[in-house]
């Protein structure tokens, strides 16, 4: 998914409601380099064919007139509820960290998933705890037993990233419950927190700002981990180990939902350095099923999408012109090149270089690599004109990157010829 025109960032309000998937997104339709945020909306029956539904949330109230910021959806008792952050930036001499900004948590309801009612304040910015700056945002709401829970991302006055938990019995009245931060700062602000269960394990996904210091690439990265989370008391213990959501560097601000079959699906924003054809900028990665096995979080492309790439072709070059899936058994020391994008295997890691297919001088890592793969050498590579996603070893690691202008070349130095599959309409 990409914006019809203009700018897209975070996925918002992901849900399955009345037989359709809904994907809302941070949208600046008038500015391809970002600006005032609206919520754009796509819907789909199968997460393959999408319909653009327009702009259901506009920055048109005193609580959100400087941006309808990120948030989530929950379907309850026949209604769809959206929770999001209303951004207000006051005019004046402010630092916009400790003053000059308001970020209330707002709530709207819908009976059809397309039209939304009156904006109501669920948590007023005046009611946030004292030890926080004005940066509290991105509510994610879910149901726990008969109660509802909300997790919000925040920046404490000590410049530490944190999350805040709220509870409600009716989705209208919310009470502050608890908070979590780390002893040593792990980024100064945690954006877009998400907490859910997979195979009996709690998975925490969030996007800490300035996690990586002194970098020419992106300092803000999306992280996932397996904390101990007590659902009853709403307390979380931060684990020692964590994983990058994706090794390519570009993915940020992911959000998850459960699909019609109960799978946990993650979608994230692929950051891009400049507009394509001067018209649009920002994409979503393919929907990924989240799995937890042996203390590791796996991300696998949605089976319906993977299975749709079933038209085998002998023309290797066709991988660069259209959307394609490449299956490659990439062994140590071997390499392949797709339209100028280079992939190779070294020290057990999958490495990639996009120098030749990325705007020169643009922000973002040119070189990226996975950690050492535990076993196996099978890569499934999804190629789109503006994005390459490499799934290594059945989703043990994924490496996704934005690309510009793939050439019509394909070469490989591999024992076994890669197989190319095109989309089967
Ligand atoms: C993350 C983010 C969110 C915010 C939104 C504004 O990319 O900064 O924290 O709600 O984008 O567009």
Ligand 1 atom closest to Cα of residue 153: 9
396 lines ligand 1 (CB under 6 A): no
Q: Is the pLDDT assigned to residue 64 strictly greater than 80?
A: yes
- Where does the pLDDT of residue 314 fall: very low under 50, low under 70, confident under 90, or very high at 90 and above? confident
Q: Answer whether 263 contacts ligand 1 (Cβ < 6 A).
A: no
What's the 10 CA to ligand 1 centre distance in angstroms? 6
For the ranges 59-73, 97-111, 318-332, the lowest mean pLDDT is seen at 318-332
Range with the poorest average pLDDT among 45-54, 151-160, 211-220, 360-369: 211-220
Known catalytic membership, residue 10: yes
Confidence (pLDDT) at 312:
94
Q: How confident is the model at residue 2 (pLDDT cuts 50, 70, 90)?
A: very high
Give the model confidence (pLDDT) of 233-280 as tens digits: 878 888 999 999 999 999 999 999 999 999 999 999 999 999 999 999
Centroid of ligand 1 to alpha carbon of 214 (angstroms): 22
Report which of residues 394 and 232 the model is more confident about.
394
So what's the pLDDT on residue 235? 83
> How far are the Cα atoms of 134, 201, 367 from residue 59, in angstroms, in the given order?
19, 38, 38
| pLDDT confidence bin for 320, thresholds 50/70/90 | confident
Which atom, in ligand 1's list, is nearest to the CA of 70?
Answer: 10
Q: Is 10's C-beta closer than 6 angstroms to any atom of ligand 1? A: yes
Choice from 8, 10, 267 to test ligand 1 binding pocket (greatest atom count within 8 A of CB): 10
The pLDDT of 388-401, averaged and rounded, is: 97
- Residue 12 in contact with ligand 1 by CB distance below 6 A: no
Give the residue, out of 33, 70, 190, 219, with the most ligand 1 atoms within 8 A of its beta carbon, to mutate for a pocket test. Answer: 70
pLDDT of residue 124: 96
Strand partners, 288: 266, 301
Ligand 1 close to Cβ of residue 85 (< 6 A): yes
Give residue 317's pLDDT: 77
Distance 253 CA to ligand 1 centre (A): 8
- Residue located via tokens 């789109």: 384
Q: Is the pLDDT of residue 60 over 90?
A: yes
Over residues 132-158, the mean pLDDT reads 97
Q: Is 140 in the pocket of ligand 1 (CB under 6 A)?
A: no
**pLDDT at residue 195 in the model:** 97
Tens of pLDDT along 80-129? 999 999 999 999 999 999 999 999 999 999 999 999 999 999 999 999 99
Lowest-confidence pick of 67-76, 207-216, 364-373:
207-216
Q: What average pLDDT does the chain have?
A: 95
pLDDT digits (tens, 9 = 90+) for 335-355: 999 999 999 999 999 999 999
Cα–Cα distances (Å) from 370 to 207, 306, 384, in that order, read: 19, 21, 20
133, 138, 188: which to mutate for ligand 1, most atoms within 8 A of CB? 138
Tens of pLDDT, residue by residue over 184-213, are 999 999 999 999 999 999 999 999 999 988
68 lines ligand 1 (CB under 6 A): no
Q: 161 C-alpha vs ligand 1 centroid, how far in Å? A: 14
| 191 Cβ inside 6 Å of ligand 1 | yes
Q: How confident is the model at residue 215 (pLDDT cuts 50, 70, 90)?
A: confident
Say what the pTM is.
Answer: 0.97
Tell me the percentage of the chain whose pLDDT exceeds 70: 100
């Amino acid at each position: 998914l990409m914006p019809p025109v203009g700018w897209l960032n975070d996925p918002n309000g992901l849900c399955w409601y009345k037989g359709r998937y809904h994907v809302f997104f941070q949208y600046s339709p008038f500015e391809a380099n970002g600006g005032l945020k609206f919520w754009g909306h796509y819907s789909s029956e199968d997460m393959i064919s999408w319909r653009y539904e327009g702009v259901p949330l506009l920055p048109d109230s005193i609580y959100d007139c400087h941006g309808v910021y990120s948030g989530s959806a929950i379907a309850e008792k026949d209604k769809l509820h959206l929770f999001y952050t209303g951004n207000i930036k006051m005019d004046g001499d402010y630092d916009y960290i400790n003053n000059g900004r308001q970020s209330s948590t707002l709530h709207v309801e819908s009976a059809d998933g397309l039209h939304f009612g009156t904006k109501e304040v669920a948590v007023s910015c005046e009611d946030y705890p004292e030890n926080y700056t004005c940066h509290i945002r991105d509510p994610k709401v879910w149901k726990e037993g008969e109660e509802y829970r909300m997790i919000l991302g925040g920046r404490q006055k000590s410049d530490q990233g944190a999350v805040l938990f709220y509870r409600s019995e009716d989705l209208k009245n919310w009470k502050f419950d608890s908070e979590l931060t780390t002893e040593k700062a792990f980024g100064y602000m945690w954006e877009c927190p998400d907490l859910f269960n997979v195979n009996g394990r709690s998975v925490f996904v969030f996007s800490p700002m300035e996690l990586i210091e002194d970098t020419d690439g992106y300092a803000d990265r999306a992280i996932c981990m397996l904390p101990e989370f007590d659902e009853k008391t709403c307390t979380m213990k931060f684990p020692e180990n964590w994983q990058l959501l994706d090794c390519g560097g570009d993915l940020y601000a992911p959000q998850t939902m459960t699909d019609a079959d109960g799978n946990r699906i993650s979608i994230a924003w692929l950051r891009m350095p400049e507009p394509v054809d001067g018209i649009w900028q920002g994409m979503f990665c393919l929907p990924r099923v989240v799995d937890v096995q042996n203390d590791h979080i796996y991300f696998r492309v949605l089976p319906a999408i993977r299975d749709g790439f079933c038209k085998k072709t002998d023309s290797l070059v066709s991988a660069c012109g259209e959307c394609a899936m490449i299956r490659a058994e990439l062994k140590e020391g071997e390499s392949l090149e797709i339209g100028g994008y280079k992939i190779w295997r070294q020290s057990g890691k999958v490495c990639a270089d996009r120098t030749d297919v990325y705007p020169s001088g643009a922000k973002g890592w040119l070189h990226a690599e996975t950690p050492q793969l535990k076993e196996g050498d099978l890569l499934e590579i999804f190629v789109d004109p503006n994005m390459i996603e490499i799934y290594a070893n059945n989703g043990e690691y994924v490496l996704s990157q934005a690309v510009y202008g793939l050439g019509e070349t394909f070469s490989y130095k591999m024992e076994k010829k890669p197989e190319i599959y095109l989309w089967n309409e």
